[in-house]
Amino acid sequence: MEMVNITINGQSLSVPQDYTILQAARQAGIDIPTLCYLKDINEIGACRMCLVEVKGARTLVTACVYPVNEGMEVFTNTARVRKARKAVLELMLSNHNRNCLTCVRNRNCELQKLAEELNVTEIPYEGEYTPSVVDDFSPSIVRDNSKCILCRRCVAVCKKIQTVGVIDATERGFKTKIGSSFDKSLNETDCAMCGQCIAICPVGALHEKDGLTPVWNALADETKHVVVQTAPAVRAALGEEFGLPIGTPVTGKMAAALKMLGFDKVFDTDFAADLTIMEEGTELINRIKEGGKLPLITSCSPGWVKFCEHNFPDFLDNLSSAKSPHEMYGAVLKSYYAEKAGIDPKDIYVVSVMPCTAKKFEAQREELSGTGYPDVDAVITTRELAKMIKEAGIEFNKLEDAVFDSPFGDEATGAGVIFGATGGVMEAALRTVSEVLTGKTFDEVEYEAVRGTEGIKEATVTIGDLDVKVAVAHGLGNARKLLESIREGKANYHFIEIMGCPGGCVTGGGQPIQPAKLQAEIDLKAERAKALYAEDRALTYRKSHDNPYIKKIYEEYLGEPCGHKSHKLLHTHYHERPKY
């Protein structure tokens, strides 16, 4: 790459010629504030917070889109620049709902942080507010336009990364707002409920639907036996809400905190992930042996499933009928567990702690009630669990490690743990399918070909005398590319894993929110995935079919994978939804 020589604040730099001023400054350790900028996703110069002075230019320029050139002289901290940035921020705040203390993003808001850094102590521009509404009809996502700053980061991630595109800027001038076509609620669109818009919103204009109130109420209800289960990805990110480094595993502290919150039992969804592999893996084997419809596509990600129902209904028969792990667990808790514990299923209240906002939507599906009751009663996100812990006055970082409750939690496998990372479901399935198909035991269980953060990964895995062609996609945009290539006859597979969120569950829409600047510097999905792979390597059992509790539940209750009883409890169906 050809280099150019520039100076920023008198500092001489040599940078690639395709850099912007912002990239060059950050490489040199010089901070330029941004709000609308999201690396590789939203680079539009809309917010004007990154204004800088370039010698010879008639006006200030936006650093995030202005290219460098040979001999350029840039100044990022002149009186003119500071005055302009402060005026821009004050104007932005003049049309903003400033009830910061009661905002979901209080103390984790990029706008609030800039106001502090730029020493904004009053708003001199008081006037008319843009008319705004709160859209809270979705079971997963709430939009509050009174807090929107029109940065368009949500629009960019929905349209460019997820290729759903249900929101955009509407109206013009002062009346401009972010909304859906014809002012529809998100619930009336083909929104996948993935929550990626929440994860990149710099303010409190987007957040998950409240799940805490019903959970607190259930915990206070003495007639309810309240149990909680936690998804594998939660342990890899929860610590961030308490100041721990990104990717710090907090499994033991999380279990301890949940017990202190008053849950009657604390279970690990990893057990149900093992159960999912038994059902889904058997389903794959049966389809291969019996000439069933291929490729078999995973159905663990509810955002992906809803996306498929709207956009690829011709692939619904390819979806595994196996429920997602937490829904399977709910069905088991209200049947097998209820019988063993002597508790009426109607009195069992199942709470799922998930990295995913789409799980809130999934829990409301009528078809997920194999016992006659909803498999899962309430879903809260990783962020919401952190709020519960803080509200209860629990000093998370000082907790001693605890373990999950028996009879399920203390013997999950590494295969279940890695479900949280893209490629993890595929790898877990291959660990089991390879041994079941061949009747042999393999010491090497790590399938590197399906790991990593590449958008679409392909591999051919030889199992006995069969070459199994597999693919892994994460993010709905990559899912669209993959399925369109199959539609067009350009690709052919036996088994496909699709996760709705880029990076898989570790970067789900319910995970801790990190500022855009940090997201540009650190690969969140890779760092959080490391925690899961490390836990996998440390566990005694790394294959789902080796889990002694999995063997026990089939022997005592379910019979066999994909058998009559397990099909009734652990499998479901999906249906076409309108394309708006």
Average pLDDT over residues 135-164: 97
Is 362 a catalytic site residue?
yes
CATH 3.30.70.20 given to domain 127-208: yes
What are the pLDDT digits (tens) for 273-306? 999 999 999 999 999 999 999 999 999 999 999 9
CA 234, 240, 242: angle at the middle one, nearest 5? 110
Q: Which of 138, 301, 320, 352 is catalytic?
A: 320
Q: How high is the pLDDT of residue 131?
A: 80
What are the pLDDT digits (tens) for 207-233? 999 999 999 999 999 999 999 999 999
Does the pLDDT of residue 133 top 90, yes or no? no
Q: How high is the pLDDT of residue 129?
A: 85
pTM: 0.96
Closest CA to 243 of 417, 395, 106: 395
Which tokens sit at 537?
A: 């390597």
Is the distance from CB of 8 to CB of 25 less than 8 angstroms? yes
Is the distance from CB of 213 to CB of 142 less than 8 angstroms? no
Distances (CA, A) of 87 to 2, 31, 49, 84: 37, 19, 10, 5
Give the DSSP per-residue string, 407-423: TTGGG--HHHHGGGSTT
Is the distance from CB of 62 to CB of 48 less than 8 angstroms? yes
Q: Which of 283, 427, 497, 527 is catalytic?
A: 283
What percent of the chain lies above the pLDDT cut of 90?
A: 94
Closest CA to 114 of 150, 96, 98, 90: 90
Phi first, then psi, for residue 571 (nearest 5°) are -120, 160
Q: Which of 154, 505, 525, 543 is catalytic?
A: 505
Q: How high is the pLDDT of residue 421?
A: 96
Q: How high is the pLDDT of residue 410?
A: 56
Which tokens sit at 412?
A: 């999950």
**Out of 339-343, 410-414, 418-422, least confident range:** 410-414
What are the pLDDT digits (tens) for 64-104? 999 999 999 999 999 999 999 999 999 999 999 999 999 99
Distances (CA, A) of 410 to 177, 271, 506: 49, 9, 22
Question: What are residue 51's DSSP bridge partners?
Answer: 62
Question: What are residue 496's DSSP bridge partners?
Answer: 297, 471
Is 505 a catalytic site residue?
yes
Q: Which of 53, 208, 280, 535 is catalytic?
A: 280
DSSP label of 135: E
Q: Which of 50, 103, 300, 308 is catalytic?
A: 300
Distances (CA, A) of 324 to 321, 330, 569: 9, 10, 12
What are the extents of the domains in the chain? Answer: 3-77, 127-208, 213-570
Is 367 a catalytic site residue?
yes
Q: How high is the pLDDT of residue 408?
A: 64
Closest CA to 388 of 252, 258, 271, 285: 258
On average, the pLDDT of the chain sits at: 95
Average pLDDT over residues 486-499: 96
What are the pLDDT digits (tens) for 313-337? 999 999 999 999 999 999 999 999 9
Q: Which of 359, 360, 457, 543 is catalytic?
A: 359
Q: Which of 70, 117, 339, 367 is catalytic?
A: 367
Q: How high is the pLDDT of residue 464?
A: 86
Distances (CA, A) of 56 to 4, 32, 381: 18, 20, 51
Q: For residues 365 and 150, give the distance between their C-alpha atoms in angstroms, rounded to a whole number.
A: 33
Is 300 a catalytic site residue?
yes
Average pLDDT over residues 555-559: 95
Q: For residues 356 and 195, give the distance between their C-alpha atoms in angstroms, rounded to a whole number.
A: 7
SS3 178: strand
Query: What's the CATH number for 3-77?
Result: 3.10.20.740
Does the pLDDT of residue 409 top 70, yes or no? no
Does the pLDDT of residue 375 top 60, yes or no? yes
Distances (CA, A) of 532 to 232, 361, 529, 558: 8, 26, 5, 29
Alpha helices in 135-234 (DSSP H): 153-156, 196-200, 212-220
Beta strands in 464-542 (DSSP E): 466-474, 495-499
Beta strands in 49-114 (DSSP E): 51-54, 61-62, 73-75
Residue with tokens 């005055």: 83
Is 283 a catalytic site residue?
yes
Domain 213-570 -> CATH class:
alpha beta
390: number of Cβ within 10 Å: 13
DSSP label of 21: H
Which tokens sit at 489?
A: 């006859």
